[in-house]
Structure 1
């Protein structure tokens, strides 16, 4: 950039960016990556392209001081700390700010950074609802992993909203998450900047020097190796030092013979010509980061704004600072680094200490104070300890690495340090800290918290016996207050439940209920009893316990997460009781509530529960949308297994084994983590895969292994009976049938399942027809009709067989289960049964005719101009589910954006 508004070179790159901006004006989003070495002009290129964009441009930057503070580039770029912002977007910003301050309760142990990321996504969608938006994240190589991960999600979201996301980064370091982000953006959407061409260097040099350069100045400039920042700083230092002059022939000459040895040296040389008072102010500004507010600069400098103005104006006139929105910024991060590194490390540490103290006294947010304290020399000083005692709980949730660093220095609050270490993924270190703290005889409240963390760490390390032994020992401590004893009992109950020790878990939870009326202990104890009842198949009992747990948790902010979890389990339990309308209503409302709170763990669970309910009720297209609504990397391993199991099951029934096996392979790593048998739906899908391959014996073995476990086995029983009868393992079939009959009193669906299993074992077609009639689940209904038809064939009653085959086929067609339909047709031919004439309807895979009913509704609303959130509210869906449907619509129509959907709809209407 030679002078304001004039960019030398980069014409092709500027054209590409301008083209994406023009496409954005039509509603087409895009994700772009701009790469290049330091000083090569990445930021200048993007700023030049966006200078007259005509849309809001949000710009955030990573820097080395903020690498351990999650999402800071996005929080700054989207002005989460800004004032005077109106509308829904401002309400969302306030929610995020409250999360950072620890004022928004989302549940104990919930990852705050993850919740903030969800709210930031929603904030961007709300901003884009008002029109196209540009979001730039500069210096991504310094950004934290949460920021990079969220940028990866934005790269997928740009198809859904009018957003141009531009990431700016150096080619190194090649961190894993940055490599993943780069791969998610096509090569055609990446810009790699290299050195300026010789002709461009000549042009830039002429612009900077104010005239045609002499040969000596050209040779000097050649040392900059085509790096525009290097060249700019070189000429700037020559100009400010009075070492440039115009010869009689009109050439710009210099007396200097040698180029500074590096870009950093060139910057330092230029800075050397600034007045001392300006340099002092700039060095203080450098403590605050690449971008900073004048207010913060006034606080750390101890000067009033009016006193700072002359130095700021001089820095702006010198090209060191520039104005960005309502803040100031260094023209280039390397200029800030040069200023910062001019000071000895010990001096920098002392300045950071003083800046932190000043910001604390000014009431600055915890993240801004922590940014100064981490590189400071302050350790156990009283003011640090007092501040950290108040700020640490919020920091542990939002920025555990920073919290751990500060808590280690001050040697305070070991329970918070252990929690921070666990959240950082260092359970072994967390366990050491918790053990040491427990040896110091902590007060009861902290003791419970330390045992909670210790239990998590030991389970994570595969030492459940040690975790339970520690809890049992704690429960024998004399003088333990009833409330704290009850909380320890709950921890022990949850640990036993996780190990499948149902009776022990129940006894401990009931003991906890008898000990106290403490709401936390009561609520979680009731939840353990709910899970125990569900594991035993006692759905009516589970539902009653869920109602009690909801009464306890519903109006307590500290139990927000428990209330969400209870409601999700209520939806599952209502499904077990065949109360599907209620179940789907509850699951839908919990999707919305989890979205509102930003609880990603509960959001993934709500989507998964809805997917399971839709699988059972026959809404298979919508079930696939639910399990695809969120990427696998944000899901708990058990949810990953369940979701891939649902998708694989649907794919196999629809005769798409390749897609099904991709789902099974994707679930394998998570299955190793949680244990395959812990997730019945994945076990069923693996069994179905073996059956699809023509190996019923292996299919049965998959289920028999699952039945040997005590977790979530009930749904495997009917298929285990069917396969056991098929391969002649009648003892296995009878044993499984007896287990089904034991569940009959728990839910109406088990009455239908018992009829089905007994009908298979006894080869009784009438019993199988009765099972089909009583079943409210679509796939079991079809299987019962099919089994009845097969039994009628064996009995020689071909007329009844034909009718049962027709009814089975009708349900399979409703589900789109092409594999099952083909199998039925083969069985009928073998039996000599002529099928009634049918018109073959081959389902389209592309174009408007391939859209599902839900997709057609959503496409029509997209054409009306509704956003994903507006469509979600209209159709009682999650915005994430709507987004998945829109992605499917785009793929089926072969278009790239929502605008394209509207255009294609117009063409279709006029054609």
Structure 2
């Protein structure tokens, strides 16, 4: 760890100051004789061979110590003396006893002592006791710990005479800050041409461990007992970190039998102890040990490890990696083992199954009869893990080949699921129908195809064929699995909801959630909680909806179902917006849109887009709102129909009205009319749009259309009296039509803060027209306050204008001006997240404390890092602590 360099510099410094310097190492053959190490040390002060010190040490130690003390005193009379001894941990007991006595006896003489030793972590030695005593007596103690990242980078640049690139620094970091190992690694890379230096920058060409490092590690291994060497080799194949139980099972020995070898490896600094495991101290040493084991042996041991992990039911990424590393190309038995492991992992850990399947495909010839079956498994895992584009491409390529049953059915079912998630229900439906028409379709695959078909039909709630199919499934529950029964309930729930039968919709959705709670994994992957949470969000039962979403996200994560990640985030964004938290809504919606883009799950994109566009519209940024809606218009051009098409189209119409006038909005609304032209389905999924539809119709002189909207809103409220939001929405629409202030006051009791403000604004307008100026000002002031508190700058500006029209001026309210960078630039939410992050909480822990999603926390932290100009949590913590100290 740099002891030699430290000693060399110290000796040079002492010699330059006129010291008489003498020293040596306690290692070597001389240490085998009592005081043998010290004799070589004090030869530098004039002690000659044959002295009483040399010949009498083995018989009587104390006369030898007296002679040594006299020699040092004599030499120090002329000038100061420095005595140094390296590798004290190797010294004999007589030498250690002498070193305990002499410094104290010569304390008044001008003599400096410098001792070094290598610390052994696993046991206390006599050298450790000596150092403890000397420290107690006032000696200065310097511990040479591992180099930090900056020092590693500096040494790397110094040795290579160039600035190292990131990959090279990552390799250098594997030395764990050991200077000798680092320098030998770098010299070895240079000698073997594994580094390229160009224009002052050094880049890594080969990541193979250089021979210099191999030689060092080999010497270290040769110094160990045979049992310890064997243990380390097997442990290295297990991984850098390993448990004693796994190692014992692999070696077919009891854990207690491994203790001596593990203790020796720890005493020599090769292994270190960690919580419930052991680990190789240096990643580079671990890699080197692995690479020194012949490939055929490594593969056999990896295969053995993978098999015993698989046999005991462990299907982690670690188990998968061992199976993969133990499978050579063309080994049919080994490939069959990968297939078995992938099938076992698929229900609970699709990412592990994907890892296994992709490797099996790489090792399978496309002409092999197993290639199509492995491709089907890969498509299924890619669909679950959220790589829908790749999954669709792979499925279509496989289906283009002559594909036997049941592989063809598996591929078609997966394709239907992919198309559903990509927001293409008509294609998903056709694929599922074609699958169900296949002859000799196995029962289990028929049920999966039924689930795919019901999912596709649910995209058009209220369609008679879909309801009949779902009812037929529920009529014969013994013929279907729980996933099909749950999906049928979801379809019927959404259909009832679209008709305005909200209680029935909620009942069916709650039934679906209850059945999924204790159901199979495929049943839980239907995610009925999202359907129920969406319905509760529509009627502003936000607390229950938020609780469902938190549970749904935990379950989705535990099921490794990444394809649906955008769904929970998008719905969470809707909840935040409805609760009057636009900043959190935007953060969550942006995360949802990013996830939808990453996975290809366009099914959830319109929900996120509608939130982003609504927030931008309320904030007065028409350009941003229009830019968000461009992606939605692209989806419409592709003829995609997804759950929030209605809501998103309504927002698009509102933005067009704000930008181009009411005629532009009216043209768009023709897409939303039902058979009776009264927007029933829109008023069910977005009751708050009723007032806007009435206002728009009246502005266009179409009173009949306005009356139709009011009639539907009233019908929904009367048919569902337990939902206050519907009652308030109906009162708002009727109050606008009749210009009735009492109805608008009733609407102002809405659980949605933005809807409350809107009703108060309309009430103020009606009162002002009736010359009730004081009451009008009161309502408009309340509306202004609500709009401002919930980030609706555009609406607030309109209310201020209305107040000016009746002779009242209100100062423009705006958020506190913030700088672009620095602590003062952080919002309250960002400051709270920063404080929790500085306490060491993970994103998930912060999310649980703040009742936000992990994606929202990550979104806010990215902004924090940018504003504070930091690149890591360590820097963030430092800034947070400094800020707290200044307050």
Could you tell me the TM-score, scaled by structure 1's length? Answer: 0.57
Q: Do the aligned partners of 1:458 and 1:466 also contact (CA within 8 Å) in 2?
A: yes
Tell me by how many angstroms 1:542 deviates: 0.8
Output aligned runs, 1:230-629, within 5 Å. Answer: 231-232=183-184, 264-271=210-217, 273=219, 275=222, 283-300=233-250, 327-330=277-280, 332-342=282-292, 345-346=295-296, 348-357=298-307, 367-377=317-327, 379-381=331-333, 384=337, 388=341, 391-393=344-346, 396-405=349-358, 408=361, 411=370, 416-423=377-384, 425=387, 426-428=390-392, 431=395, 440-442=404-406, 452-459=413-420, 467-475=428-436, 488-498=449-459, 502-517=463-478, 518-556=481-519, 558=521, 561=524, 565-577=527-539, 580=540, 583-594=541-552, 597=555, 599=557, 609=571, 611-613=573-575, 615-616=577-578, 619-620=580-581, 624=585, 627=588
For 2:425 and 2:8, how far apart are their aligned partners in 1? Answer: 65
For 1:681 and 1:449, how far apart are their aligned partners in 2? Answer: 34
Distance change (3 Å), C-alpha of 1:287 and 1:324: same
Q: Do the aligned partners of 1:286 and 1:336 also contact (CA within 8 Å) in 2?
A: yes
For 2:828 and 2:218, how far apart are their aligned partners in 1? Answer: 69
The question of 1:799 aligning with 2:771 is answered yes
For 1:167 and 1:595, how far apart are their aligned partners in 2? Answer: 39
Distance change (3 Å), C-alpha of 1:353 and 1:395: farther
Equivalent position of 2:682 in the other structure: 713
Uncovered stretches (5+) of structure 2, i.e. residues with no partner: 10-145, 162-177, 190-205, 365-369, 870-874
Distance change (3 Å), C-alpha of 1:868 and 1:472: closer
How many aligned positions are there? Answer: 669
Q: Do the aligned partners of 2:672 and 2:682 also contact (CA within 8 Å) in 1?
A: yes
Deviation larger for 768-777 or 858-867: 858-867
Specify which of 631, 644, 648 is matched with residue 678 of structure 1. Answer: 644
Tell me by how many angstroms 1:265 deviates: 2.7
For 1:667 and 1:781, how far apart are their aligned partners in 2? Answer: 28
User: Deviation per CA, 1:126-181, whole angstroms, max 9, x where unpaired?
Assistant: xxxxxxxxxxxx9xxxxxxxxxxxxxxxxxxxxxxxxxxx999xxxxxxxxxxxxx
Tell me by how many angstroms 1:362 deviates: 7.5
Tell me by how many angstroms 1:562 deviates: 6.6
For 2:324 and 2:697, how far apart are their aligned partners in 1? Answer: 64
Specify which of 683, 686, 699 is matched with residue 726 of structure 1. Answer: 699
Uncovered stretches (5+) of structure 1, i.e. residues with no partner: 10-137, 139-165, 169-189, 202-225, 238-259
For 1:649 and 1:228, how far apart are their aligned partners in 2? Answer: 61
Q: Do the aligned partners of 2:748 and 2:757 also contact (CA within 8 Å) in 1?
A: no
For 1:506 and 1:479, how far apart are their aligned partners in 2? Answer: 26
User: Deviation per CA, 1:487-518, whole angstroms, max 9, x where unpaired?
Assistant: 64443222122356732221211111112245
Distance change (3 Å), C-alpha of 1:488 and 1:719: same
Tell me by how many angstroms 1:454 deviates: 3.5
Tell me by how many angstroms 1:524 deviates: 2.0
Q: Do the aligned partners of 1:653 and 1:820 also contact (CA within 8 Å) in 2?
A: yes
Q: Look at both structures and tell me which one has the larger radius of gyration over its CA atoms.
A: 2
User: Deviation per CA, 1:498-553, whole angstroms, max 9, x where unpaired?
Assistant: 35673222121111111224543322211111112223333232123224334434
Distance change (3 Å), C-alpha of 1:726 and 1:167: farther
Tell me by how many angstroms 1:456 deviates: 1.5
Tell me by how many angstroms 1:376 deviates: 2.2
User: Deviation per CA, 1:850-898, whole angstroms, max 9, x where unpaired?
Assistant: 99999999999999999999999899x4586996999799999999979
The question of 1:814 aligning with 2:786 is answered yes
User: Deviation per CA, 1:215-260, whole angstroms, max 9, x where unpaired?
Assistant: xxxxxxxxxxx996463369999xxxxxxxxxxxxxxxxxxxxxx9
Tell me by how many angstroms 1:807 deviates: 1.6
Tell me by how many angstroms 1:427 deviates: 1.7
User: Deviation per CA, 1:800-853, whole angstroms, max 9, x where unpaired?
Assistant: 4763464244133223144323323334545xx233x76876654569999999
Tell me by how many angstroms 1:588 deviates: 3.6
For 1:316 and 1:348, how far apart are their aligned partners in 2? Answer: 24
User: Deviation per CA, 1:86-120, whole angstroms, max 9, x where unpaired?
Assistant: xxxxxxxxxxxxxxxxxxxxxxxxxxxxxxxxxxx
For 2:264 and 2:573, how far apart are their aligned partners in 1? Answer: 62
Distance change (3 Å), C-alpha of 1:7 and 1:701: farther
User: Deviation per CA, 1:775-809, whole angstroms, max 9, x where unpaired?
Assistant: 5544345444544655677xxx4414763464244
Structure 2 SS opposite 1:498: coil
Q: Which has the higher contact order (CA 8 A, sep 6+)?
A: 1
Q: Do the aligned partners of 1:568 and 1:590 also contact (CA within 8 Å) in 2?
A: yes
Distance change (3 Å), C-alpha of 1:282 and 1:672: farther
Distance change (3 Å), C-alpha of 1:511 and 1:3: farther
For 2:784 and 2:576, how far apart are their aligned partners in 1? Answer: 15
Tell me by how many angstroms 1:404 deviates: 0.9
Tell me by how many angstroms 1:684 deviates: 4.7
For 1:422 and 1:869, how far apart are their aligned partners in 2? Answer: 25
Distance change (3 Å), C-alpha of 1:595 and 1:499: closer
